[in-house]
Amino acid sequence: MTIEREAAAQKASVSSFYAAMRLLPREGREAMYAIYAFCRAVDDIADDGTQSRVVRGNELEVWRDNIEAVYQGGPSLRAAFLEPAILRYRLRKMDFLALIDGMEMDVTEDIRAPDLATLDLYCDRVASAVGRLSIKAFGMEEEPGFRLAHHLGRALQLTNMLRDLDEDAALGRLYLPRELLEKASVAVRDPVDVLATPAIDAACRGVAQIAWHHYREADDVLRRRPPGNLRAPRMMSAVYASLLTKMEGQGWSPPRARVRVAKSRLFWIFLRHGLFA
């Protein structure tokens, strides 16, 4: 096992991701662990505040070169662990590169109050691109699978964004869209100051509405029961929808407490969408 896979496996073992991936057959599960390891590796580079933007950008470029090498049949030390999954499931190079492009958006400059179109592009790169890789491991066909990845990826990313507001602000980032901040009469300035404004709740609820739209569209795909192993995406959708519901009940006005899904709720979701789906 590579260093990247080992580190990612340790992080995955304490996350809802691990429980969801355990629902897959061995080949699909191994592919997902490889995809997750790649995601963790490039995400850790983007979030590494101890390194300069130049160094982090260079590190992402090394990963981009390694992905290119895998698809060209050349030597690739970093990305070699992805080869079995790429070959078995015909994973697309463009989706790996899209994720790197998304991480690059965070490295080039701190994202602060992007417009809605830029936020949607960011979500497509850092989340829906991962979904487009994942649906192959789920055994789904591309048409329903890519639609699921489009909507569920955005739903999960927006939910994460709303949960991690304060953590992101500490890194100098603010992903709340400019249009919704302006609608809530919140001036765009230092992220920490923005989040100290009670009116931030209205902007966050606007983002939650967008997320719910994507959850509904993803659920529509899943209700149609396209071929494939749908238990993992159903479980992930249920877990993150529970998080969003809990955040809406609590609100986003300061002071905020980081929400978590209770273990009893997670167990019920696992039973409903895992064992009895």
Name the domain boundary from 109, 126, 149.
Answer: 109
Q: Do 121 and 82 sit in the same domain of this protein?
A: no
Which of 103, 96, 94 has its CA nearest to residue 34?
A: 96
Q: Do 71 and 147 sit in the same domain of this protein?
A: no
pLDDT digits (tens, 9 = 90+) for 72-131: 988 888 999 999 999 999 999 999 999 999 999 999 999 999 999 999 999 999 999 999
Buried b (16+ CB within 10 A) or exposed e, 240-276: bbbbbeebbeeebeeebeebebeeeebeebbeebbee
Name the domain boundary from 81, 109, 137.
Answer: 109
pTM of this prediction? 0.90
Q: Do 44 and 92 sit in the same domain of this protein?
A: yes
Domain extent for 213: 110-277
Q: Do 179 and 249 sit in the same domain of this protein?
A: yes
Q: Which helix (H) or strand (E) holds 30?
A: helix 26-46
Name the domain boundary from 109, 134, 154.
Answer: 109
Q: Do 128 and 247 sit in the same domain of this protein?
A: yes
Q: Do 92 and 143 sit in the same domain of this protein?
A: no
- Does residue 119 sit in helix, strand or coil? helix
CATH number at residue 270: 1.10.600.10
Predicted local distance difference test score (pLDDT) of residue 109: 93
How many domains, in total, are found in the chain? 2
Q: Do 159 and 212 sit in the same domain of this protein?
A: yes
Q: Do 162 and 254 sit in the same domain of this protein?
A: yes
Q: Do 154 and 91 sit in the same domain of this protein?
A: no
Predicted confidence band at 49 (pLDDT cuts at 50, 70, 90)?
confident
Q: Do 73 and 150 sit in the same domain of this protein?
A: no
Q: Do 209 and 161 sit in the same domain of this protein?
A: yes
Q: Do 121 and 13 sit in the same domain of this protein?
A: no
pLDDT digits (tens, 9 = 90+) for 192-246: 999 999 999 999 999 999 999 999 999 999 999 999 999 889 989 999 999 999 9
